[in-house]
A and B are shown apart, each in its own frame.
Chain A
Amino acid sequence: MSDVTIPGPRREEVNRAGRFLFGAGIALLVLWVLVPIWFLFVNALSAPSEVTGFPKRFWPSFDLASVRFFWNFQGVTNALWNSIKVAVLTMILSIGMGAPAGYALSRFDFPGKEFFRVLVIMTRAFPLPLLALPLAVMFIRTGLDDTVLGLALVHAMLALPFAVLITFSLFSGIPVELEEAAWTLGCTRLQAFVKVVLPLALPGIAASAVFAFVISWNEVFAAAVLTIENRTLTAFLLQSLNVSPLPLKFAGGAALVLPALIFIFAVRKYLFAMWGIANR
């Protein structure tokens, strides 16, 4: 239309300018995401005196004094260990309960199916970390307060809706015919599941397990409310924000970010498939 009136060479110029703008836009967005992380790691990998000094250099001196200071700080290794324990438990609990539910939703038609699905989706309209408040009382009564298991149960509640919806979509993506073929060849329902469906679904299940791990690893509010002695890394960092020196904060922040970077990289193939269906 209006393009037609533009003579040849000018149109090419417009195109080139457009491409340049497009590239510049992408570069800007990439920098916007990466530069702040770079700054955090520059701080974490510089000596404490450089972290508090001014003006700052924009590349790290690879002095590990900050990291050592963080590692040797009272309670840090304990908190790290607790974070890992809680996250692994969360992973096991949420997948252990979520995967069977996801399988049931994908393979069976039964009364109450839609009700359960809506229920799971509905939980997302609630601010789940707030569950920590009433559960704190409940846990004191049952002796679960300030334990790794207690916190893992709350984190599992955060991760369960995702686990159900993600495994639901995973199993739905595996043709029923494969299973039926196994049955006609003499497999029981369980055998068919273990030998045919599970190998196909396993990478996806592993990805959702990693996702559950990240949810727990990153959670701050419930962890800070429910733990006192057995703090996770996030709870530890939050509680010591007022008193801890800057190098400790930044090394701690980097310790939180690093595993997340690796995990997101590990599940990058599944990220979009997971969220695409977590949708409807």
Chain B
Amino acid sequence: MNRALPYLLLLPASLFLLVFFFYPFGLVVVESLTRGGEWTTENFTRMTGHWKFSTAFWNTIWLTAIVVPVQLIMALAMASVVQKLKTGRAGLLYIFAIPLGISDLAAGLVWLAIFEQSGFLNSILHAFGVIDRPQLYLGYQSLWVIFLAVCLAEIWRATAIMMVIIVAGMGLIPKEYNEAAEVFGASAWQRFTRVTLPLLRPSLQTALILRILMAFEVFAVVMALGGTTLPVLMGETFQWQFQLQDRGVAAAYAMVILGLSVAFSLVVLRLLHVPKGARI
């Protein structure tokens, strides 16, 4: 009985993973490679042949490339600030963590309130006398503004998750290491780059992987701010599945997102590899 118990306890979760994780991902692979019951690469040629594909692909990549580094720096700054604080730590952490609970759609709407034509950005500029009539920011004529708004919304929304992981990771680093470095005359910056950052690698790994995946899945923020004017991979997947009713091409898009996610996860794991003996 006792030997079977752990397996019995794992059984529901394992079965669930099998039915709702492995099986459906198998289905996506099959669906992307078949059309009308025959094996073919037509879904992929259709996908790449559509004019929106390369725009969507590069928009997603650029968004990730801009947003994630900014967030990493902000999250590290927030975490370091919190570490230094003696009073009001809990309150500040709560405020920094608020966006963690906010959905991407809500974040998109929050920034829509700022960037729309009668929104707060125009009102602020008007109040300072910079403009006398409201400007249109989120139109198709100014794609880069939509892009910028999406970047800001993403940075605003998803820095919290990296910050929380990094704060938790900093809590695990023994204080003695930093104190020893201080005794030997290391400046605050040297202590941060030579002691804290290397010891933080496992947390940075988790934070970066989670965040990069989320960046590849960017969807509702873009829909709220730009509709389909600014195509991204997840948005195109949704369009093909829903508007164009072509599940094959949607599955092909899913494979692209999946491939990117797995590839970048491996890159992060490799770059921030911690040898077994060097873990705290």
Contact = CB atoms under 8 A, between A and B. Distances in A.
Q: Which of B112, B161, B210, B216 has the most CB of A within 10 A?
A: B112
B96 interface: yes
A213 B144 CA distance: 35
A225 interface: yes
Interface stretch (B16-24, B34-42, B43-51, B62-70): B16-24
B53 interface: no
A234 B103 CA distance: 9
B197 to A, nearest CB: 16
Q: Which of A22, A29, A34, A263 has the most CB of B within 10 A?
A: A29
Contacts of B223: 238, 241
A218 to B, nearest CB: 3
Contacts of A107: 6
Contacts of A124: 209-210, 213
Contacts of A129: 217, 219, 234
B180 interface: no
Given A36-B156, A55-B122, A253-B106, A275 B165 contact: yes
Chain A contact surface mostly: helix
Nearest to A225: B241
Interface of B: 3, 5-7, 9-10, 12-14, 16-17, 20-21, 24-25, 27-28, 31, 77-78, 81, 84-85, 90, 92-106, 109-114, 116-120, 122-123, 126-127, 134, 156, 161, 164-165, 167-169, 171-172, 185, 202-203, 206, 209-210, 213, 216-217, 219-220, 223-224, 227, 234, 237-238, 241-242, 247, 250-251, 254, 257-258, 261-262, 265
Given A25-B81, A100-B10, A264-B97, 5 more contacts: A126-B258, A246-B116, A249-B112, A264-B98, A279-B165
B123 to A, nearest CB: 4
A1 B78 CA distance: 28
Contacts of B84: 22
